[in-house]
Amino acid sequence: MGVAGRRQGARKTDHFKEQLMKAKPITLLLPMLLLLPALPALAGQCDDNFSKKGNALSGAEYSTSYKVAGLSVPSAIGQMRNLAIADGMDVLDESPDSGSLLLEEPANLAHKGLQVYVTAKPDGTVSMLMKTRRGAFGNADGIRSEMCKMLTQLKPGKAPVARAAVKPIEIQATALATDIERQGVENSAAIDVRFAGKVYNIKGVNKGVAGKKGAFELYFDMNPSLVPGFVPSKSRRGELRIACRMMPDQNAYALAMRNGDKMYLNATYDHYDESSYLVWLKNCRGIQ
């Protein structure tokens, strides 16, 4: 073989080595990819466990479960609580140690409140159960999709999960009053449970100022005039009212307020005084 032939053979050998080196990472990655769980299989676990019992006439039950290795009971409950809050659901009861969580999809014009029971087991299994009332129709596919959407977001973890920060809800004072009245139709004692800790950016019209320096109280007009400040508003007997306890540094805002003035406050739900039909909001601050 001549010099040219040997050079050509060397180039082929070098080219083969180069291709082999390029192929090595792919070969090494294959076993790792085989060890990773298939995402459709994980989602399928929740879908396969979904079941429906009953019917619209007698009331139906929808349930499913999902297992996450390395997930403790407190972590599971904390994660599900935060996922529910992010979806706008109310947390009615929470027991991280015993592994139970009671959620509720708030009532609206289309349906009454829908409660969802969540339980967690030490082996990482988290279950969801929703019951519908007699005469209520549910879309099984839609319910399964929403349940699995929450469950498949769970991550392994041992430590309890801190409560997620609550995003303020933009709302009119009259709309909040209507919402609270609707929620309390069946059980007024549950109002505080449903609304506890909710934060609002609430708009309305001033009905009056009470209290003292460092602890002023602003009252919302629940039946405001179409021309605030010029045409007096009318109060309805037995109507639910809303009042806001201002923060100590909000003296100027409260003292400058006159009947009929518009108010825009950041506030946190405090409690409902059933004897006076009065909802109290706390930690109130004026929003510019």
DSSP state of 237: T
Say if residues 104 and 90 touch (Cβ distance below 8 Å): yes
CA–CA separation, 266 and 66 (whole Å): 38
Q: What are phi and psi of 131, to 5 degrees?
A: -110, 135
- Radius of gyration for the chain, computed over Cα atoms and rounded to the nearest angstrom: 29
The whole-model pTM stands at: 0.70
Q: Which residue has the tokens 């990819």?
A: 33
What pLDDT band is residue 283 in, cutting at 50, 70 and 90? Answer: very high
197 Ramachandran zone, left/alpha/beta (phi>0; psi -120 to 50): left
pLDDT tens column, 51-100? 999 887 888 999 999 999 999 999 999 999 999 998 888 899 999 999 99
Q: What are phi and psi of 254, to 5 degrees?
A: -70, -40
pLDDT tens column, 180-214? 988 777 778 889 988 988 999 999 999 999 999 99
Q: Decide if pLDDT at 19 tops 90.
A: no
Residues 107-117 have a mean pLDDT of 77
Residues with Cβ within 8 Å of residue 113, at least 6 apart in sequence:
90, 104, 105, 106, 107, 183, 194
Q: Where are the beta strands (DSSP E) in the chain?
A: 51-55, 59-67, 90-95, 100-105, 114-120, 125-131, 169-172, 199-212, 215-220, 241-246, 262-273, 278-286
List the Cα angle 240/245/250 in 5-degree steps. Answer: 140
What pLDDT band is residue 139 in, cutting at 50, 70 and 90? Answer: confident
Q: What is the largest CA-CA distance in the chain?
A: 112
What domains can you pick out in the chain, each with its CATH number? 40-151 (3.30.310.80), 169-286 (2.40.50.140)
